[in-house]
Amino acid sequence: MLRQQARSLLAKEVGYVTKPHGGRLRIALAFPNTYFVGMSNLGFQTIYTLFNAEPDIVCERVFLPPKSEIAALRAAGTPTVTLESQTPVRDFDVLAFSVSFEWDYTNVLTMMTLAGVPHRAADRTRYDPLVVIGGAVTFVNPEPLALFADVIAAGEGEALVPPLVRAFQASEDRGDLLHRLSAERGYYVPSFYELRYQENGAIAAFEPKAGTDAPVVVRKAALKTTEAANPPATAIFTPDTEFGSRFLIEVVRGCANLCRFCWAGYNYLPVRAFPKERILQLAQAARAHSDRVGLVSIALCDHPDIEEILERLVAMGYSISPASLRLDDLTPSILRLLRQSGERTITIAPETGSDRLRRVINKTVTNDEILSAAEAIFAAGFEHLKLYYMIGLPTETDDDLVAIRDLTLGIRDIMMGHARGRGQVGRVIGSVNPLVPKPGTAYQRLPMEQDAVIERKIKRLRTLVADVDNVYFNIKSERHSFYQALLSLGDRRVAPVIEAAERNGGNWRAALAETGVDADFFVFRDRSSDAVLPWDIIDGGMKDTFFRAEYDKALREEWTLPPKRHKENARLLPVLQ
Ligand code: SF4
């Protein structure tokens, strides 16, 4: 049945790769969620392309089966197979996971079970595939997954693939391979380290074990320059996916705005633009398969040629979906081009409602500028506006919650003014998430706000925005964020909780009760005096002194203005050497 399913998925695809296995390094590339979700993930598609671009690698995909089928597959013990050649995953040399979200950690384990691969690295033998875990969340904090991975790949795929090939080609056995990988930039072998703990439970040290020659810290691997690089782009088209046959392409990597809570901003510095002509060539080639392009960049307009790129994409007949736009990106010509391409909704992130709190988080825009942006958006003909807000920010008071309401109402009034002329009223949609302090940010040492306080704030905000016409709020529960924080801020002692949640079908409360792990320790503890943080094993390029100085500035309500784009941010920021 699995083979038949794989064949029918392939039959609807364009762009997949098949190669003979003989003499090649065989990599089963796993996305720890369903085909429907995974095929819309640009990181996953990119790593597939990068692996298969190597003549000595054959890379095939495997996904989490639909939820409804998992129990039966477990019971039957039918081993999962890859899509391209329907080969059992267990037979591959490498089982590589591309993980983008903490919620998929349990799926990593489910996929190992279904493939017949033991969960823990310590239980695997040389007859099992080498389990490599990579993807954005894992290099921000790999520790919760450390016991499951033979190797963590920390950084950007473009810089990680060549060393993997080199190490495999040169190695004699599994032990030799791990040694060679741990000498390469971006490869972290968790079993090569002994962890020592302090009496209060904080980590005292990651100690490389004798004879491993493992580095004291693992430096993240990143692409130094994108000037000659191919932009990551959809390689395989299928109608069976979240974004349909949308052509996804990364236009520029990184964002230099330095918002103090934003792990993506800090971890993808410096800002690097992909070559304009290459973006357009790939888009032209993909036009036969798609008429909608998704621009996947956190700072789209940091590309020096963005207006020309948009003009030419529209001229090719594409409609354009930007991931989310920074407020300082919204020039009249950008808005005109997006509207012209058929977009009706714009998403922006004021993050909070007051200028004071925006200085705390280093979001360097003011309410006046946001209202002017809203004016420009509705004047350009957009109907709906989505707004991202956070609560539980440091120094937040009730006035800041009221300010969220007031700013939203101000925006709604602008929308209504424009709607009257058009005779059609749109929506303002607020999306609110509690702050989860993230590793690799200025807030990495902060405890998360206590449940009861967040609950109270959620309730208050719901009351403030209830029954306002044409305004809808979607407020995420604090419990959801609590477990996300555990997976985000934890260390390898969280591994049993992930295993228990995988066994019990995702009941995190029961998993904590079963394992006795003190989640509050990881989520609600002030880490300001910890000498070592769980994610310090990876050197992402930013210095702890910088983060501490940024946090002090937050408390003084001071901005750190983004360095001027392109050249200056590379020179001014403490980024990769
Ligand atoms: S503007 Fe701020 S929140 Fe948005 S990507 Fe840049 S640093 Fe992150």
- Residue 260, CA distances (Å) to 365, 389, 477 in order: 14, 15, 23
Query: Ligand 1, residues 255, 325, 389, 550: which to mutate, most atoms within 8 A of Cβ?
Result: 255
Give the number of the atom of ligand 1 that is nearest the alpha carbon of residue 326.
1
Report residue 325 CA to chain centroid gap.
17
Residue 570: the pLDDT is: 53
Q: Map residue 322 onto helix, strand or coil.
A: strand
Whether residue 130 contacts residue 167, with contact meaning beta carbons closer than 8 Å, is answered with no
Q: CB-based burial of residue 416 (10 Å sphere; 0-12 exposed, 13-18 middle, 19+ buried)?
A: middle
Q: How far apart are CA 516 and CA 558, in angstroms?
A: 41
Ligand 1 binding pocket, CB closer than 6 Å: 255, 257-259, 262, 264-265, 298-299, 326
Q: How many CA atoms lie within 13 A of 157 on its CB side?
A: 28
Rounded (10°) angle between helices 508-515 and 495-503: 120
Residue 245: the pLDDT is: 78
Q: Return the CA Rg of the chain.
A: 24
Distance 561 CA to ligand 1 centre (A): 13
Give the number of the atom of ligand 1 that is nearest the alpha carbon of residue 258.
7
Distance 225 CA to ligand 1 centre (A): 21
Give the number of the atom of ligand 1 that is nearest the alpha carbon of residue 261.
3
Give the number of the atom of ligand 1 that is nearest the alpha carbon of residue 298.
5
Give the number of the atom of ligand 1 that is nearest the alpha carbon of residue 264.
8
Distance 261 CA to ligand 1 centre (A): 9
Distance 263 CA to ligand 1 centre (A): 9
Q: How far apart are CA 529 and CA 202, in angstroms?
A: 10
Distance 381 CA to ligand 1 centre (A): 26
Specify the pairing of strand 319-322 against strand 345-351: unpaired
Specify the pairing of strand 471-475 against strand 292-295: unpaired
| Sign of the C-alpha dihedral computed for residues 440, 445, 450 and 453 taken in this order | negative
Helix locations, 276-354, DSSP H: 276-286, 306-315, 332-340
Residue 568: the pLDDT is: 54
Cis amide leading into 88 (omega within 30): no
- Residue 192, CA distances (Å) to 99, 109, 132, 149, 151 in order: 22, 22, 15, 12, 10
Distance 260 CA to ligand 1 centre (A): 9
Give the number of the atom of ligand 1 that is nearest the alpha carbon of residue 324.
4
Q: How far apart are CA 191 and CA 150, in angstroms?
A: 7
Query: Ligand 1, residues 257, 559, 561: which to mutate, most atoms within 8 A of Cβ?
Result: 257
Give the number of the atom of ligand 1 that is nearest the alpha carbon of residue 362.
2
Nearest alpha carbon to residue 382 among 374, 391, 394, 372: 374
The identity of residue 384, as a single letter, is H
Q: CB-based burial of residue 577 (10 Å sphere; 0-12 exposed, 13-18 middle, 19+ buried)?
A: exposed
Structure tokens at 170: 């040169």
Distance 258 CA to ligand 1 centre (A): 7
Hey, how many other C-beta atoms are within 10 angstroms of the C-beta on 363? 25
Hey, how many other C-beta atoms are within 10 angstroms of the C-beta on 385? 23
Ligand 1, atom 2: nearest CA belongs to which residue? 259
Distance 256 CA to ligand 1 centre (A): 8
Name the pTM for this structure: 0.94
Residue 572: the pLDDT is: 46
Q: How far apart are CA 382 and CA 322, in angstroms?
A: 14
Distance 358 CA to ligand 1 centre (A): 12
Whether residue 32 contacts residue 107, with contact meaning beta carbons closer than 8 Å, is answered with yes
Ligand 1, atom 1: nearest CA belongs to which residue? 257
Q: How far apart are CA 255 and CA 264, in angstroms?
A: 8
Distance 23 CA to ligand 1 centre (A): 45
Distance 362 CA to ligand 1 centre (A): 10
Phi, psi of 61 (to 5 degrees): -100, 150
Distance 276 CA to ligand 1 centre (A): 23
Whether residue 320 contacts residue 296, with contact meaning beta carbons closer than 8 Å, is answered with no
- Per-position pLDDT tens, the chain of length 577: 778 888 999 999 999 999 999 999 999 999 999 999 999 999 999 999 999 999 999 999 999 999 889 989 989 988 999 999 999 999 999 999 999 999 999 999 999 999 999 999 999 999 999 999 999 888 789 999 999 999 999 999 999 999 999 999 999 999 999 999 999 999 999 999 999 999 999 999 999 999 999 999 999 999 888 887 899 999 999 988 877 778 999 999 988 889 999 999 999 988 889 999 999 999 999 999 999 999 999 888 889 899 999 999 999 999 998 877 888 788 888 899 999 888 899 999 999 999 999 999 999 899 999 999 999 999 999 999 999 999 999 999 999 999 999 999 999 999 999 988 777 889 999 999 999 999 999 999 999 999 899 999 999 999 999 988 899 999 987 778 899 999 999 999 999 999 999 999 999 999 999 999 999 999 999 999 999 999 999 999 888 999 999 999 999 999 988 876 445 555 545 444 3
- Tokens 């989860």 found at: 436
Mapping DSSP onto H, E and C, the string for 444-505 reads: CCCCCCCHHHHHHHHHHHHHHHCCCCCEEEEECCHHHHHHHHHHHHCCHHHHHHHHHHHHCC
Q: How far apart are CA 384 and CA 387, in angstroms?
A: 10
Give the number of the atom of ligand 1 that is nearest the alpha carbon of residue 255.
6
Mapping DSSP onto H, E and C, the string for 143-191 reads: HHHCCCCCEEECECHHHHHHHHHHHHHHCCCHHHHHHHHHCCCCEECHH
